[in-house]
Amino acid sequence: MEAFAGHVTEDVAWLEVSGRPEGAPVERLGRERMRQSLESLFDAWESYRLEVERLEDLGDRVLALVREVARGRASGVEVDGRWGYLITVEGGLIARIEAYRDAALALQVAGARG
């Protein structure tokens, strides 16, 4: 977590565009808020990993398609899905992350070739 936090701006914006069970998109602002949200997420899982399947330089953004593999700490429920992230980099640091539960939607928004 510390290593990742060192690569984001102090005022990073993390937008969960799609994929939240609650429905509506949510935006978190700031490095500390992002860190707290991710720590809370990881606490819910017995095991959690992201496997990068594709990275594409889009000029002003980076497209990352990843496989999420996890097992719930309390429920034992297993998750195996794909996410798409559009990441804006400014001054060598991540300034904005848009998370899409549907990797195809991230591809569409990015205008990338599938």
Report the SS3 class of residue 35: helix
Task: Number of helices (H) and strands (E) in the chain: give both, helices first.
Answer: 3, 6
Q: Which residue has the tokens 């978190």?
A: 28
Q: What radius of gyration do the chain's Cα atoms show? A: 14
Q: With 80 as the cut, is the pLDDT of residue 114 above it? A: no
pLDDT of residue 24: 67
Domains of the chain with CATH codes: 2-109 (3.10.450.50)
Residue 28: the pLDDT is 78
Tens-place pLDDT, residues 42-97: 899 999 999 999 999 998 899 999 999 999 999 999 999 999 999 999 999 999 99
pLDDT at 21: 54
Q: Give pLDDT tens digits for 2-29.
A: 788 889 999 999 888 865 555 667 777 8
